[in-house]
Amino acid sequence: MSGTADKFDGLQMFRTAGYIERLRERRMSMKKKTLKTRWKEAPRAARILIPAALLVLAGAAAFAVYASSAVQAGYTPVTAEHVEDWYRENGVLSLGEDYAQISRVGGEIKEVCVRENQRVSAGDLLFVIDPGDYVYQRDITAAELDGLHAQLDAARIGEVMTASPAEYLASIRKQYESAQAALDAAATVWNADQALYAAGDISRIQYEADKSAYEAAAAALETARTRYEESSRRHAELAADLAAEASEEADADGGTAVSLDDRFFESEEAQLKARIDAGEAALKQLQDRIARCEVRADRSGIIKSLDVKGLSSVSEGNVLCTISDRSEERLCAECDILTSAAAYLAPGTPVQARLKQRGSETVLSGRVTEVYDYAQKDLSALGLEEYRVHVKAELDPAAGSPQVSDTGSLDGYGAELSFCLYQADALTLPVSAVFQEDHRYFVYVNEGGRASVRPISVSYSTGSKVIVSGGLEEGDLVIDGISRDDLYEGVRVR
The answer to whether the CB of 76 falls within 8 A of the CB of 481 is no
0.85 surpassed by pTM: no
Structural domain boundaries, residue 115: 98-127+298-323
Q: Are strands 79-94 and 385-401 parallel, antiparallel or unpaired?
A: unpaired
CATH number of the domain encompassing residue 408? 2.40.30.170
Q: Tell me: do 277 and 402 sit in the same domain.
A: no
The residue count of the chain comes to 494
> Dihedral through CA 246, CA 247, CA 249, CA 251, nearest 10?
40
In sequence order, what are the residues at sequence separation of 6 or more whose Cβ sits closer than 8 angstroms to the Cβ of residue 340? none
Q: Characterise 396 by phi-psi region: left (phi > 0), alpha (psi -120 to 50), beta (else).
A: beta
List the CATH number of the domain containing 109: 2.40.50
SS3 of residue 473 by DSSP: coil
Given a contact cutoff of 8 angstroms between Cβ atoms, the answer to whether 335 and 92 are in contact is yes
> Is residue 486 assigned to a domain?
no
- HEC profile of 136-168: HHHHHHHHHHHHHHHHHHHHHHHHHHCCCHHHH
CATH number at residue 447: 2.40.420.20
List per-residue pLDDT tens for the chain, 494 residues long.
Answer: 444 445 445 545 545 556 566 666 666 665 555 545 555 555 655 556 666 666 666 555 555 445 456 778 889 999 999 999 999 999 988 887 788 899 999 899 999 999 998 889 989 999 999 998 888 888 888 888 887 777 776 666 555 444 456 666 777 788 788 888 888 888 888 888 888 888 888 887 788 878 878 888 888 888 778 777 777 777 677 666 666 665 555 544 444 444 555 555 566 677 777 888 888 888 899 899 999 999 999 888 888 889 888 888 898 889 999 988 776 567 889 999 999 999 999 999 999 998 887 777 888 889 999 999 999 988 888 888 999 999 999 888 776 666 666 666 677 788 999 999 999 999 999 999 999 888 899 999 988 888 889 999 999 998 889 999 999 999 999 998 877 777 888 888 87
Could you give the CA distance from residue 148 to residue 276 in angstroms, rounded to a whole number? 6
* Same domain as 153, residue 284: yes
Q: Do 179 and 233 belong together in one domain?
A: yes
Number of domains in the chain: 5
DSSP string across 192-214? HHHHHHHHT-S-HHHHHHHHHHH
Euclidean distance between CA atoms 32 and 38, whole angstroms = 10
Q: Is 14 exposed, middle or buried (0-12, 13-18, 19+ CB in 10 A)?
A: exposed
In this structure, the answer to whether residues 120 and 177 fall within a common structural domain is no
Check whether residue 146 and residue 279 sit in a common domain: yes
Q: How far apart are CA 487 and CA 114, in angstroms?
A: 76
Q: Is 51 inside a domain boundary? A: yes
- Would you say residue 123 lies in a domain? yes
Distance of CA 175 to the CA centre of its chain: 56
